[in-house]
Amino acid sequence: MPSKDASQSTPNTPVEPITRDRSSNRTSDSSNGRPLRIAWLIYRGNPHCGGQGVYSRYVAREIAAMGHHIEVISGEPYPELDDPSQLVKMPGLDLYRASNPFRVPWPWEFRDRVDLAEFAIMCGAGFPEPWAFSMRARKYLETRRGDFDLIHDNQCFGTGLLGMMNDGWPVVATLHHPITVDRDLELEHASGRWRRFNLRRWYAFLGMQMKVAREMPRLVTVSESSKRDIIAQMGVKEDRLHIVPVGVDQDSFKPMPEVKRVKGRIMTTASADVPMKGLTPLLEGLAKLRTENPDAHLVIIGRTKEKSATPALIERLGLSGVVEFVSGVAQERIVELYAEAEVAVVPSLYEGFSLPAIEAMACGVPLVATTGGALPEVVGPDGIAALTVEPGNADALAQAIGRMLGDAELRERLGAAGRDRVLNRFTWRRTAEGMLEHWYAQLEEQGVVL
């Protein structure tokens, strides 16, 4: 079945109050009660950039496989789901589309006051997407009151969620890490007062997100590190915040012994061209490494943003021709790229979890990672399943990568140990089971009869 378009929906009369007792003949893997009906919100779900689309895809797949009903209500760009009928497309102005960022919509594209406000906020150098999406989602869900038991928000935290709670909806939300970290790192690396001024305008939406997060009765995050930082930086109460780690598609991300490793090939994933992802120290480390290992070269899954300083840095470091950006490729090609690499690197200054780390490890690729944020939780102690270095240290990255490239036995040992660690700890089924536990708990707390 095709996906649904929320803009074409018609208001429905609520069939029954949300606390009704609904019997069902369906089966569920959960022992807590009857199968649930979940509205999953994601304000942007790019399947090829960032982890939100991946996270939503696999949670939706596992929840459905366990006998529950879930619909992913998404803003543009839309995620790719295993079952397209689960996707409800929530059209907006799509002001930041990759082909035309900060675009000016045609007059006929403005449908209501939310559209006008979204464009006005963008013109004022703000980032309105989370707010605008939450307002549209609230309006849409008013037409489907009898269709869902609970709303789960993924990292939006727009004002519309407070409205949904006031409307009587049970709401749970995922907060992967505090975006205050992104803001602070960008401000730290910004050059000039005007750039810092614009960054503060852009990140003004954080005030809204912190307010909404504090009002949430139940939040899910992905690591102990994120939990500590969310409590410290966003003021969320500890007893409302619970950990459910993410997983990896172990059927897709696996070794490909038939693919030959490329000598000196290093691979990394940069879901965004921002300081937090640590691309600058990695490039500086690569330049140092190549003085002793001229075969070393880098493949980056990602793309540079408009007016990025990265291309100039690559040229200044003498890395033209040895750094390749690859973007918009299918998951199968990403797995193949991992199979071609001798080493994978996660150079991030901070991570709330790190899907690229566990994907590389699941593929059996030996990993070098920093100790930024939750990475020590994910990859383990130094030298056991990965080599770890302090974040932002180009010399340490060069040394660790060079050590890995020069020691085939070490690569084989860490590649195998990394895969074992992931297989034993991180599955999407466990993620889904954790979600269900908190959904049932929240419904029980609110007195919802199932």
Question: Strand 171-174's sheet: what is its strand order?
Answer: 4-5, 87-89, 69-74, 37-42, 150-154, 171-174, 219-221, 241-243
**How far is residue 276's CA from residue 261's CA, in Å, rounded to a whole number?**
29
CATH 3.40.50.2000 assigned to domain 4-247+428-445? The reply is yes
What's the pLDDT at 12? 38
Nearest to 262 by CA among 353, 342, 323: 342
What's the pLDDT at 1? 62
Homologous superfamily (CATH) for 265-425: Glycogen Phosphorylase B; (3.40.50.2000)
User: pLDDT per residue over 69-110, tens digit each?
Assistant: 999 999 999 999 999 999 999 999 999 987 888 999 999 999
User: pLDDT per residue over 8-47, tens digit each?
Assistant: 654 333 323 333 333 333 334 444 568 999 999 999 987 6
Q: Are 287 and 317 in contact (CB under 8 A)?
A: yes
What's the pLDDT at 38? 98
| Cα 261 from chain centroid (whole Å) | 29
Same fold: 4-247+428-445 with 265-425: yes
Q: Are 420 and 385 in contact (CB under 8 A)?
A: yes
Q: Are 349 and 278 in contact (CB under 8 A)?
A: yes
Mark the ranges of the chain whose per-residue pLDDT is less than 70.
1, 7-33, 47-50
Residue 249: partners with Cβ closer than 8 Å, 6 or more residues away: 58, 331, 428
User: pLDDT per residue over 299-340, tens digit each?
Assistant: 999 888 777 889 999 999 999 999 999 988 888 999 999 999
What's the pLDDT at 15? 28
Q: Helices marked H in 250-307 — which ranges?
A: 279-290
Global pTM reads 0.90
Beta-bridge partners for 174: 154, 220
CA distances for 439 relative to 11, 358, 435, angstroms: 26, 26, 6
**How is the chain split into domains, by residue range?**
4-247+428-445, 265-425
Residue 167: partners with Cβ closer than 8 Å, 6 or more residues away: 138, 142
- Output the six-digit token pair for 336: 């193949």
**How far is residue 450's CA from residue 443's CA, in Å, rounded to a whole number?**
8
**How far is residue 266's CA from residue 344's CA, in Å, rounded to a whole number?**
6
What's the pLDDT at 131? 98
Nearest to 283 by CA among 259, 232, 318, 255: 318
Give 38-80 as a DSSP string.
EEEEES---SSSSSHHHHHHHHHHHHHHTT-EEEEEEPSSPPP
What's the pLDDT at 50? 64
* Region class of 334: left (phi > 0), else alpha (psi between -120 and 50), else beta: alpha
Coil, strand or helix: which one is 205? helix
Coil, strand or helix: which one is 323? strand
